[in-house]
């Protein structure tokens, strides 16, 4: 977790402080940040996506002998702290939670592992124990002074950048030439919201300001009131659209075929199928290039329709899957760096408007693909990129098709359907439902299967042929 947070800090310069424990991390962006024009959905989805990708990428480094059995995913949400005092109270709240949870867990596992109690018994013993009682229990029964236990677990971890001196080269006489560089480092303190810790770090004072008073007690409800939690309108289709971040670079670095790389699209499709399997409320997925749209049914109550939870869960799961499945698709290509995706949620009130949305995406697919096919054919034939761009300026669809046919012998309409129409993924009823025996007593009937098709979803006939998708 700490290494992933460190990578996040290196990736996004606007993050100036982070604090984490257990399975959570908080990242503080500077007040003046213009990251993604401060669009909350983009900021939180990109960070959680990158974090997840790094987590899966680094897994083998930390667990060389353990297989990652399924894709981990994380939820994210934004908290806007209107003043430094609120940020201070927020941090005090998170560190307090870290302490309470760790103290409980330390007691619980001592009782189970050394005290010979069952998990139920340990739970019962700790049910009404207060902080002081728990410390006494540890001390008296197990000879443990809680304050001597591992600081990493008791205090959590702060990561932020400080200026460090780096030796860049040596002069002829052997004296080192030093330069100041900002580097992320790990810090710990009993009280991260205290003045002593905070005000002792010049970089925190500079980036965030100083704490004028210590923060002794926080009311979690007060802090929670700053959580940015918008709920999506009831009884509307929810579309979560994710899009690869800077995929022009990602595609170049990984030498994707231009303009379409079948394997890269196959990988996107594999991940989308996994998303559909994981989130039962998703009824339809449509993907093109580095983007995917996931349609959730109108009456979905997933995460009580909280936008940030739904977006982050899907984008994080997708990113996880992308890294996990990379080797299945690109067996000869190494994943050079962790990819990330942004995500957003939009509500569509009627079937017609939802279909208009999907048609818009498919039209976009067609226009981009036709343009890109011409563009890259021209470039491959020896034109420079700007020459190709100028050549195509203002050309109509039929002119582009003519260019492809006459100059390059390409009949646009015979190019693979996946490139021209994108990919639609949905469930269909099985004609012969199979019976799967889970155990001796229960027999599950599998009535649907997931299919990936490359078809025209603009025309009404598709929706008429598959009435169960929207009904
Ligand atoms: P942001 O989404 O704004 O972060 O930038 P982006 O670079 O991801 O651009 P955008 O999402 O608008 O477009 C997707 C880009 O991904 C394309 O412009 C291509 O450069 C690249 N891409 C997607 N699919 C393929 C592919 O199959 N082959 C190649 N070569 N590139 C692809
Ligand atoms: Mg993109």
pLDDT in tens, 230-258: 899 999 999 999 999 999 999 999 999 99
Residue from 241, 242, 245, 248 to probe ligand 1 pocket by mutation (most atoms less than 8 Å from CB): 248
Ligand 1: which residues within 6 Å by Cβ?
243-248, 251, 256-261, 264-265, 289-290
Q: Is the dihedral of CA 192, 196, 197, 201 positive or negative?
A: positive
Q: Which residues pair with 177 in a beta bridge?
A: 169
Neighbour tally for 51: CB within 10 Å: 23
The first and second tokens of residue 339, run together, are 């990819």
| Ligand 2 centroid distance, CA of 32 (Å) | 25
Reference 319, options 335, 336, 342; nearest CA is 342
Give the atom of ligand 1 at the shortest distance from the alpha carbon of 244.
8
* Pocket-testing residue among 288, 290, 367, ligand 1, by greatest number of atoms within 8 A of Cβ: 290
Q: Closest ligand 1 atom to the C-alpha of 249?
A: 7
Q: Quote the ligand 1 centre to 35 CA distance (angstroms).
A: 20
At residue 446, the pLDDT reads 73
Residue nearest to atom 17 of ligand 1 (CA): 248
Q: What is the dihedral of CA 289, 291, 295, 301, to 10 degrees?
A: 160
Atom of ligand 1 nearest to the CA of 245: 4
What distance in angstroms lies between residue 144's CA and the mean position of ligand 1's atoms? 56
φ, ψ for residue 371 (rounded to 5)? -60, -50
pLDDT tens digits, residue range 166-180? 888 999 999 999 998
Of 379, 302, 293, 301, the C-alpha closest to 344 is 293
Q: Do domains 1-38+80-226 and 237-469 have the same CATH topology?
A: yes
* Length of the chain as a residue count: 471
Nearest to 459 by CA among 355, 351, 367, 361: 355
Which bin fits 303, alpha (ψ -120 to 50), beta or left (φ > 0)?
left
**87-98 burial string, b = 16+ CB within 10 Å, else e?**
bbbbbbbbbeeb
Task: Return the exposure string of 175-186: e unless at least 16 CB atoms fall within 10 Å of the residue's CB, then b.
Answer: eeeeeeeeebee
Tens-digit pLDDT profile for the chain (471 aa)? 999 999 999 999 999 999 999 999 999 999 999 999 999 999 999 999 999 999 999 999 999 999 999 999 999 999 999 899 999 999 999 999 999 999 999 999 999 999 999 999 999 999 999 999 999 999 999 999 999 999 999 999 999 999 888 888 999 999 999 998 888 999 999 999 999 999 999 999 999 999 988 887 778 888 888 887 889 999 999 999 999 999 999 999 999 999 999 999 999 999 999 999 999 999 999 999 999 999 999 999 999 999 999 999 999 999 999 999 999 999 999 999 999 999 999 999 999 999 999 999 999 999 999 999 999 999 999 999 999 999 999 999 999 999 999 999 999 999 999 999 999 999 998 877 666 666 655 555 678 899 999 999 999 999 999 999 998
User: What are the residue boundaries of the structural domains of the chain, listed by start?
Assistant: 1-38+80-226, 237-469
- Fill in the DSSP letter of residue 283: E
- Bridge partner list, 21: 24
Separation of CA 72 and ligand 2 centre (Å): 23
Give Cα separations from 71 to 43, 78, 316, 456 (angstroms). Answer: 22, 23, 9, 32
Number of Cβ within a 10 Å radius of residue 104? 15
Q: Whose CA is nearest to atom 20 of ligand 1?
A: 248
Tell me: domain 1-38+80-226, CATH 3.30.420.40, correct?
no
Q: How far does the centroid of ligand 2 lie from the alpha carbon of residue 249, in Å?
A: 10
Residue with tokens 């929670």: 224
Query: Which residue has the least CA distance to atom 5 on ligand 1?
Result: 246
Give the number of the ligand closest to the Cα of residue 251.
1
* Cα 429 to Cα 446: distance, rounded to the nearest angstrom: 9
For residues 290 and 271, the answer to whether their CB atoms sit within 8 Å is no
Nearest atom (ligand 1) to Cα of 372: 18
| CA of 260, closest atom in ligand 1 | 27
CA 36 – ligand 2 centroid, Å: 13
CA distance 241 to 238: 10
Cα of 312 to ligand 1 centre, how many Å? 21
* H or E segment to which residue 345 belongs: strand 341-348
The class (CATH top level) of 237-469 is alpha beta
Contact criterion met (CB below 8 Å) for 183 and 161:
yes
């Amino acid at each position: 977790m700490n290494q992933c947070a460190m990578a996040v800090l290196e990736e996004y310069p606007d993050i100036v402080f982070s604090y984490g424990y257990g399975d959570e991390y908080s990242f503080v962006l500077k007040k003046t940040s213009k990251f993604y024009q401060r669009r909350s959905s983009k900021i939180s989805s990109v960070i959680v996506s990158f974090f997840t990708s790094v987590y899966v990428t680094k897994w083998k480094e930390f667990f060389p002998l353990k297989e990652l059995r399924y894709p981990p995913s994380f939820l994210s949400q934004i908290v806007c702290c209107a003043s430094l005092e609120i940020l201070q109270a927020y941090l005090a709240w998170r560190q307090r939670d870290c302490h309470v949870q760790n103290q409980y867990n330390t007691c619980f596992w001592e009782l189970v592992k050394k005290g010979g109690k069952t998990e139920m018994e340990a739970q019962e013993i700790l049910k009404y124990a207060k902080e002081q009682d728990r410390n006494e229990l540890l001390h008296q029964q197990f000879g443990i002074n809680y304050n001597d236990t591992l600081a990493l677990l008791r205090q959590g971890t702060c990561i932020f950048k400080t200026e460090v001196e780096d030796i860049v080269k040596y002069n002829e006489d052997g004296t080192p030439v030093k330069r100041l560089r900002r580097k992320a480092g790990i810090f710990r303190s009993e009280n991260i919201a205290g003045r002593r810790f905070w005000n002792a770090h010049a970089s925190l004072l500079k980036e965030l300001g100083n704490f004028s008073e210590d923060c002794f007690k926080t009311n979690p409800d007060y802090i929670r009131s700053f959580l940015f939690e918008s709920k999506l309108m009831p009884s509307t289709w929810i579309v979560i659209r994710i899009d690869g971040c800077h995929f022009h670079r990602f595609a170049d670095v990984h030498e994707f075929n231009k303009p379409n790389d079948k394997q890269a699209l196959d990988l996107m499709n594999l991940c989308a199928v996994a998303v559909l399997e994981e989130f039962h409320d998703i009824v339809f997925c449509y993907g093109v290039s580095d983007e995917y749209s996931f349609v959730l049914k109108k009456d979905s109550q997933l995460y009580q329709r909280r936008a940030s939870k739904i977006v982050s869960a899907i984008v994080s799961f997708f990113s996880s899957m992308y890294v996990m499945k990379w080797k299945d698709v690109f067996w000869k290509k190494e994943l050079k760096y962790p990819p990330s995706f942004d995500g957003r949620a939009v509500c569509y009130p009627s079937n017609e408007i939802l279909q208009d949305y999907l048609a818009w995406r498919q039209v976009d697919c067609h226009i981009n693909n036709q343009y890109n096919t011409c563009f890259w054919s021209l470039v491959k034939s020896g034109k420079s990129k700007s020459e190709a761009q100028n050549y195509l300026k203002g050309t109509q669809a039929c002119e582009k098709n003519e260019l492809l046919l006459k100059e390059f012998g390409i009949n646009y309409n015979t190019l693979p359907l996946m490139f021209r129409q994108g990919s639609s993924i949905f469930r269909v009823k099985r004609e012969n439902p199979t019976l799967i025996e889970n155990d001796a007593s229960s027999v599950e009937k599998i009535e649907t299967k997931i299919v990936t098709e490359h078809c025209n979803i603009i025309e009404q006939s598709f929706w008429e042929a598959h009435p169960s998708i929207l009904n």
